[in-house]
Amino acid sequence: MDLVVSGILNFLTEQEAIGKADEVQDFYRYGIEITISSMLNIVLVLLMGALTGHLLESVIYLAVFIAVRVITGGYHADTYFRCNLLMCSTFIATAFLNDKVCGYINIWVIVALVVFEEIIAFVFCPVENKNKPIEKE
């Protein structure tokens, strides 16, 4: 990924779209890395959903996952590879569980699970991480 990010950064610098100062370069490098990683996560989950016949589920999974992650802060993996691997693994586990238990749960079980998740989010979130510190305010 470093090669792709460096290429994009060099192109933007050569086109004079961004400055050459180190702090500017670092700022844009991080933004480009996050954007590529996020897009890769989305594409991988949609691709896995299409390949396994769970495309609609993959779209719903992404919508819920992204919303929860924005609100709660979420877990931050040490590398982009681990982040992508974890995202894909949780989608596969979710799709598998959906196949196995979908016919056995009713709306009240779903409501109870959502309420339980909201309580956990209220008590424990946002999650602090060295890459995303929480201000005391």
Tell me the pLDDT tens digit for each residue of 111-125.
787 788 778 877 777
Query: Which residues face 129 on adjacent strands?
Result: 132
133 part of a folded domain: no
Q: How many CB atoms lie within 10 A of CB 54?
A: 21
Tell me the pLDDT tens digit for each residue of 74-99.
667 788 888 888 888 888 888 888 77
Tell me the average pLDDT across 100-115. Answer: 73
Query: What is the pLDDT at residue 133?
Result: 65
Domain span including residue 25: 2-124
Percent share of the chain, pLDDT over 90? 9
11 part of a folded domain: yes
Residues 6+ apart with CB under 8 A from 42: 62
108 part of a folded domain: yes
6 vs 2: CA distance, rounded Å: 6
52 part of a folded domain: yes
130 part of a folded domain: no
137 part of a folded domain: no
64 vs 61: CA distance, rounded Å: 5
Domain count, the chain: 1
94 part of a folded domain: yes
132 part of a folded domain: no
